[in-house]
Structure 1
Amino acid sequence: MASSTASRVAIFILRVLVFILLLISLIVLTTNATTADVGTEAVRIHFNDISAYRYMLAAIVIGFAYSLLQLAFSTCHLISGNHLISGNGGILLDFYGEKVISYLLATGAAAGFGVTKDMKDYFEANGLYFGKFYEMAYASASLLFLAFVCSAILSVLYSYALPKKV
């Protein structure tokens, strides 16, 4: 019983951590905008201008919604000791849901890292410096990557629980 309670607490803590990381990543990404002077003009760049950041935003929002739903389920599971979805359906939903969401979060983070590096190299080669923009993009992608790591750990925990339940 103690290991079951400990695993429920660990799952709950990881879910809270994923939720918080995704929330902060969402805030950092959506507030990311800057202006640079190009000759006599000011060029404004916003995260919405780059399609990879829009994909990153979609990954964060989908992960956030899933995390919120699973956080509610995990809270009920922690308090009552029973899954809201009875039988094997609950553990299968958790197992496969974590797999899908963790891959989505990983690809979102990879897209954010990749496009930020490419943009930084391209713009700096052309004499444009958006230092704060890159830093915030890297910060958001890093938080998204940490959320992926927590989600992957959850996926591993559910893979250990799967043979016991099915």
Structure 2
Amino acid sequence: MDLVKLEELMSDDIEIIVQQFLELHSDEAISSSRQKVKCKYIERSREDGDNRIWNNYFAPNPVFPEHFFRRRFRMSIRLFNRIVERLKEHNKWFSQRFDAIGRKGFSLQQKCTSVIRQLAYGVAADEIDEYVRIGESTAILCLQKFCSSIIEIFGEECLR
């Protein structure tokens, strides 16, 4: 076999292989976009989480005294409330809104409690769900927005 015929055969084989590769991967891309699985909605009773936080620490007669709050949150209630108020003024995302069917969304205390617990204890975002009733993705979003807002609000005053 001469060299020219061998090169022609090889180039034909390479073209076939490249063509098959492209067809295979374009089919995978199309089929993978069609096979996306929708996450199942989990009713977390976010109102119960908000009521639990309120009754435990912020009600006129709270379940736990102030020194429990300090120990669990690593800050005083006054400092926590100051942070909450400044966040509410600075970033509309931290205000309580209503969802599409008119239910109250997560309260500011829930969002901040989720973040403070993550920061104070170093717990994973999905661990917050049982007490605060916030899912993992929302807890992560709270942490991101909280940190960026805190830097914007208190950066020059407190951070070096």
> Does the alignment reach a TM-score above 0.5?
no
TM-score by length of 1: 0.27
More helix by share: 1
Provide TM-score, normalisation by structure 2: 0.28
